[in-house]
Amino acid sequence: MSLVALVAMSALSVSCHNSSMFKLTVEGVDAKGAAAVQWPKDAVLATWDDALSAMEVKLSGIAPDSSYATLVMPKEVKTEGVRRFVYPATVCAGEGKVMIAPEQSATGCPALMPCYAETKDGNAEVEFKSLCGVVRLHLTTAEKLAAVQVSTEDSAKFMSGRFGVENYPFPVLKAENGALPCVVCNELKGVDFGQGADVCLFVAPGCYNTFTITLTTEDGRTCQKNLKDNKYIVVDRNVVCTINLGQNEGDLVFEEK
């Protein structure tokens, strides 16, 4: 199993005289990585304070080298105390909770990696850190796939849904009611897996004792692969976990419903 981490975005030292202006960076990683998260021009973030009153805000500008972006909060918004941010805004689940989407698009990764940040008393430097790991399925099959799902039967492990966040040196997800043991992509129609193609899914970090990949074809046939790696599969935060399936003859066997 190969591991690919997210490429670092370098931080620049900027003096910020407006207490409602923030400089946003993304955490750095070591030399293992090759996948980049870029701030899109139309990026929308969600932010809330200790009162848990969430609002959406747009980026004000992106550095030419994409190393940081700036965000100007409305003047009426107080920045004292702890302020929390998530990107993209759809990750905000209200009441200080976050949502890791149970249904995902294979094309949204890693550019839309769910990220979290905290700042205190108007500190202008805001470093976003990944909430998830990425499961990168490299699939090779002549079958026309309609859906891919990863799931676990671990009673205390959840891959998606609603979580609380505890911020140590990095964000840690705490499952809430509404957390789910699976993530699925239903947007594979037209993707050619004949020579191999990737499906990337955001998954809550964890050591999974059971880890099942279910492939479903357009005509409803399914293939299930139950994976083990030294007794468990590890999905690390801010790391891409690559799983290769289908390169060996007979590796993927599809059965009728």
Same domain? 81 vs 154: no
CA-nearest of 206, 204, 208 to 183 is 204
Contacts of 6 (CB under 8 A, 6+ apart): 26, 27, 29, 33, 35, 36, 37, 110, 113, 130, 238, 239, 240
**How far is residue 233's CA from residue 210's CA, in Å, rounded to a whole number?**
8
Same domain? 143 vs 79: no
Question: What single letter denotes the amino acid at residue 217?
Answer: T
Same domain? 205 vs 226: yes
Any idea what DSSP says for residue 211? E
Task: Tell me the Cα Rg of the chain.
Answer: 19
pLDDT given for residue 29 in this prediction: 61
- Is residue 168 a part of any domain in this protein? no
Same domain? 89 vs 31: yes
Residues in the chain, pLDDT under 70: 1-19, 29-38, 107-111, 229-231, 257
* pTM for the whole structure: 0.86
Same domain? 46 vs 139: no
pLDDT given for residue 73 in this prediction: 87
Strand ranges (E), 161-249: 161-167, 171-175, 182-185, 197-203, 206-208, 211-217, 222-227, 233-235, 239-245
- Is residue 17 a part of any domain in this protein? yes
Judge whether 247 and 140 are in contact, CB under 8 Å. Answer: yes
pLDDT given for residue 239 in this prediction: 86
Question: What is the number of domains present in the chain?
Answer: 2
- Is residue 237 a part of any domain in this protein? yes
- Is residue 185 a part of any domain in this protein? yes
- Is residue 167 a part of any domain in this protein? no
- Is residue 73 a part of any domain in this protein? yes
**How far is residue 46's CA from residue 94's CA, in Å, rounded to a whole number?**
10
pLDDT for 5-32, tens place per residue?
222 222 323 333 345 889 998 887 654 5
Same domain? 124 vs 149: no
Judge whether 178 and 162 are in contact, CB under 8 Å. Answer: yes
Same domain? 124 vs 154: no
Quote the domain boundaries for residue 51.
Answer: 2-131
Same domain? 26 vs 56: yes
Same domain? 156 vs 97: no
- Is residue 232 a part of any domain in this protein? yes
- Is residue 53 a part of any domain in this protein? yes
Same domain? 6 vs 118: yes
The CATH number covering residue 145 comes to: 2.60.40
Contacts of 250 (CB under 8 A, 6+ apart): none
Same domain? 58 vs 97: yes
Same domain? 76 vs 23: yes
pLDDT given for residue 1 in this prediction: 31
